Amino acid sequence: MVGTTPRKTSVEGTEGVEEGVGLTALLVAAARAIETVRHDSLAQDVYAEHFVRAASACAGWPLRIQQVPGGDANPLWGRFARYFGLRTRVLDDFLLRSVHTGDARQVVLLGAGLDSRAFRLDWPSGCVVFEVDREGVLAFKHRVLDGLSAAPKATRVPIPIDLRADWVGALVDAGFDTGAPSVWLAEGLLFYLPPAAETYLIDTVDRLSTGGSALAFEVKLEKDLWEYRDSRLYTSTADQIGIDLLNLFDGEPRPDSAGDLAGKGWSTSVHTPFDFTRLHGRGPLPEENDALAGNRWVFANKP
């Protein structure tokens, strides 16, 4: 599919936030809610807990670490939630650094889910934030944010579309300027997409990016999926809230997206989450049989 437009794909039965991969957006929101009120919080998202409260699928989920059985020792709401808190902080910093030190004033959040960055980060004037996710997820998000009378701190443009379909036309029709630099984020997304859709996404970001653009994304090393299938992180997510992440991940061999971008002239750096745990002095550290061991955060700049 490289260089071509993927066929429109049916996503019957998986449109909403309360089912299928949509549930993972709620999982991250719950983690952000917990992180927000930690005494040593890495990131604050005051909207996160409202998403959790509004979804019936989240009944009984904790919103404070004090409500978590076992507290920090809980593999899901302790360590994994902290992982999401760290990821939020690191990618907040990436986005803000990119727009405040460069010329880019358009930001594209791919698989935005319940990311509320358009509402909570201090964007420079003239900034536009495009949020791409499936229709049911964005509809839920709008219902909650409208109920809170939340006001974005940038021009916010939701793009309800499946990333396995032709999302480029929708983005450009919505006002994305292909002649201006841009900042892109694919946080917690690529491992849910078929490899051809990931390759198309990376090729497309390259094609739509002028010099001065930046991209951050998360990947999982392929062996991680199966080698760590019995990790406490996966089993406890399934046992405690019924989300079988391994079943939601696309199990096909992954492309080397960081390598592909480097081949296209982007400068890339690849980090483990643990690099940032050490930088910030808090967050998950490696453990035995660790489902996070294969996670990589990739930062890329187009000269």
Angle 275-278-282 from CA coordinates, rounded to 5°:
120
In angstroms, what is the minimal distance from the CB of 303 to ligand SAM?
Answer: 26
Stretch that binds ligand SAM, among 19-27, 66-74, 117-125, 149-157 (CB under 6 A): 19-27
Q: Residue with structure tokens 């046992």?
A: 239
How many binding residues for ligand SAM (CB under 6 A)?
21
Applying CB under 6 A, does 111 fall inside the site for ligand SAM? yes
Q: Which of 6, 21, 78, 292 binds ligand SAM (CB under 6 A)?
A: 21
Q: Which of 43, 104, 112, 159 binds ligand SAM (CB under 6 A)?
A: 112
In angstroms, what is the minimal distance from the CB of 161 to ligand SAM?
Answer: 7
Applying CB under 6 A, does 82 fall inside the site for ligand SAM? no
Applying CB under 6 A, does 154 fall inside the site for ligand SAM? no
* HEC assignment per residue over 115-135: CCHHHHCCCCCCCEEEEEECH
Q: Which is nearer to ligand SAM, 245 or 261 (CB)?
A: 245
Stretch that binds ligand SAM, among 17-25, 142-150, 275-283, 294-302 (CB under 6 A): 17-25
Q: Hey, how many other C-beta atoms are within 10 angstroms of the C-beta on 18?
A: 15
Is the C-alpha dihedral spanning 283, 286, 290, 295 positive or negative? positive
In angstroms, what is the minimal distance from the CB of 43 to ligand SAM?
Answer: 11
- d(CA 61, CA 233) in angstroms, rounded, equals 16
Applying CB under 6 A, does 295 fall inside the site for ligand SAM? no
Binding mask 200-239 for ligand SAM (x = CB under 6 A): ----------------------------------------
In angstroms, what is the minimal distance from the CB of 265 to ligand SAM?
Answer: 26
Beta bridge partners of 158: 131
- d(CA 209, CA 243) in angstroms, rounded, equals 35
Q: Which is nearer to ligand SAM, 24 or 199 (CB)?
A: 24
Binding mask 174-203 for ligand SAM (x = CB under 6 A): -------------xxx--xx----------
In angstroms, what is the minimal distance from the CB of 222 to ligand SAM?
Answer: 18
Applying CB under 6 A, does 49 fall inside the site for ligand SAM? no
List Cβ neighbours of 144 (8 Å cut-off, separation of 6 or more): 47, 50, 51, 54
Distance of CA 243 to the CA centre of its chain: 17
Applying CB under 6 A, does 25 fall inside the site for ligand SAM? yes
Binding mask 114-153 for ligand SAM (x = CB under 6 A): xx-----------------xx--x----------------
Residue ranges in contact with ligand SAM by CB under 6 A: 21-22, 24-25, 28, 111-115, 133-134, 137, 162-164, 187-189, 192-193
